[in-house]
Chains A and B, each alone.
Chain A
Amino acid sequence: MNLAQVEKSTWVYVAISFLLFVVPFIATGRSVQFLIIQIFVFGIFAMSYDLLLGYTGIISFGHVMFFGVGAYSTAVLFDRFDPTMLTFALAIIISGVIAGIVSLIVGVLTLRLKSHFYAMLTLALAGLFLVGAEKWRKLTGGSDGFTFGLPDILRDSFALYIVSALSLVLIFFGLRRMTKSPFGKVLVAIRENESRTESLGYQVLHYKVIVSVVSGIVASYSGVLYILSLRFVDTSVFATDLTIDVLLMTIIGGVGTLIGPIIGASLIEFAHHWLSDLSDVHWIFERWIILYGTIFILIVVFFPKGIVGTLVDRFYKWRARRT
Chain B
Amino acid sequence: MSSFLEVSHVRANIEQYHILHDISFHVPKGEVTVLLGRNGAGKTTTLRSIMGLTPVIAGEITFKGEKIRNQKPHLIANRGIGYVPEDQGIFHDLTVGENMRVAMKKENEETKERMDWILDLFPDLKKFWNKPGGQLSGGQKQMLAISRAYVNDNELLLIDEPSKGLAPIVVEKVMDSIHQMKERTTILLVEQNFMMASGIGDRFYIIDDGQTVQQGQMNELKQDGVLLQKYLGIS
Question: What is A's interface to B at a CB cutoff of 8 Å?
Answer: 182, 185-186, 188-189, 191-193, 195-204, 256
- In angstroms, Cα B99 to Cα A189, docked, is 8
Residue of B nearest to A199 (CB): B73
**Known contacts A182-B101, A185-B102, A189-B102; is-contact A203 B89 (Cβ 8 Å):** no
Contact of B94 among A185, A195, A201 (CB under 8 A): A185
- List residues 19-60 of chain B with CB under 8 A from any CB of chain A: 51-53
- Tell me which residues across on chain B come within 8 A of A203, comparing CB atoms: 72, 74
- Chain A interface, DSSP helix/strand/loop, else mixed: helix
Do the beta carbons of B85 and A196 come within 8 Å of each other? yes
* Extra contacts besides A192-B93, A196-B85, A199-B51 (19): CB < 8 Å: A182-B102, A189-B94, A189-B102, A192-B91, A195-B53, A195-B73, A197-B102, A198-B73, A199-B53, A199-B73, A199-B74, A199-B85, A200-B102, A200-B103, A200-B148, A201-B77, A201-B105, A201-B152, A256-B93
Q: Look across to chain B and name the residue whose beta carbon is closest to the beta carbon of A320.
A: B135
| Residue B98 CB within 8 A of the other chain | yes
B83 within 8 A of A: yes
Which residues of chain A are within 8 angstroms of B76 by Cβ–Cβ distance? 199
In the A-B complex, the 3 residue pairs with the smallest Cβ-Cβ separation, listed nearest first, are A201-B77, A196-B89, A198-B73
Q: Give complex CA distance A202, B148 in Å.
A: 14
Assembly CA distance A322 to B58 (angstroms): 57
Contact assessment for B98 and A185 in the assembled complex, using a CB-CB cutoff below 8 Å: yes
Chain A residues, Cβ within 8 Å of B51: 199
B18 CB–A CB distance under 8 Å:
no
In the complex, what distance in Å separates the CA atom of A293 from the CA atom of B91?
Answer: 34
**Would you call A202 and B94 a contact (CB within 8 A)?**
no
Chain A residue numbers with a CB within 8 Å of B91 are 188-189, 192-193, 196
Q: Is B78 in contact with chain A by the CB < 8 A criterion?
A: yes
- Chain B residues with Cβ below 8 Å from A198 are 53, 72-74, 77
The smallest C-beta distance from B45 to any residue of chain A, in angstroms, reads 14
B64 within 8 A of partner (CB): no
Give me 5 A-to-B residue pairs in the complex whose CB atoms sit less than 8 angstroms apart, sorted by A's number.
A185-B98, A189-B91, A196-B91, A200-B74, A201-B74
Q: Chain B's nearest CB lies how many Å from the CB of A237?
A: 34
Residue pair A188, B74 in contact (C-beta under 8 Å)? no
Q: Is B92 an interface residue (CB 8 A)?
A: yes
B103 adjacent to A185 (CB under 8 Å): no
Specify which chain B residues have a CB less than 8 angstroms from the CB of A189 in the assembled complex. 91, 94, 102
Nearest A-chain residue to B98, judged by Cβ? A185
| Chain A residues positioned under 8 Å from B89 (CB to CB) | 193, 196, 199
Known: A188-B93, A192-B92. A200 touches B101 (CB 8 A): no
Min CB–CB distance A254 → chain B (angstroms): 13
Residue of A whose beta carbon sits closest to that of B79? A201
Residues A204 and B102 in contact, CB atoms below 8 Å apart = no
Chain A residues whose CB sits within 8 angstroms of the CB of B72 once the complex forms: 198, 203
CA A267 to CA B85, docked complex, whole Å: 43
Contacts of A199 in B (CB 8 A): 51-53, 73-74, 76-77, 83, 85, 89
CB-defined contacts of B94 to chain A, threshold 8 Å: 185, 188-189, 192
Contacts of A196 in B (CB 8 A): 85, 89, 91
Q: Which residues on the B side are within 8 Å of A188 (C-beta)?
A: 91, 93-94
CA of A193 to CA of B103, assembled, Å:
13
Q: Are A200 and B77 in contact (CB under 8 A)?
A: yes
A182→B91 CA distance, assembly (Å)? 14
| Cα-based distance from A191 to B91 in the complex (angstroms) | 9
In the complex, chain B residues whose CB is within 8 Å of the CB of A191? 93
Which of B53, B85, B98 gathers most chain A CB within 10 Å?
B98
Distance to closest chain A CB from B208 (angstroms): 26
* Min C-beta distance of B152 to chain A, whole Å: 8
- Cα A12 to Cα B94 in complex, Å, equals 23
CB neighbours of A195 from chain B (8 A): 53, 73
Q: How far is the CB of A36 from chain B (nearest CB, A)?
A: 32
Residue of B nearest to A193 (CB): B89
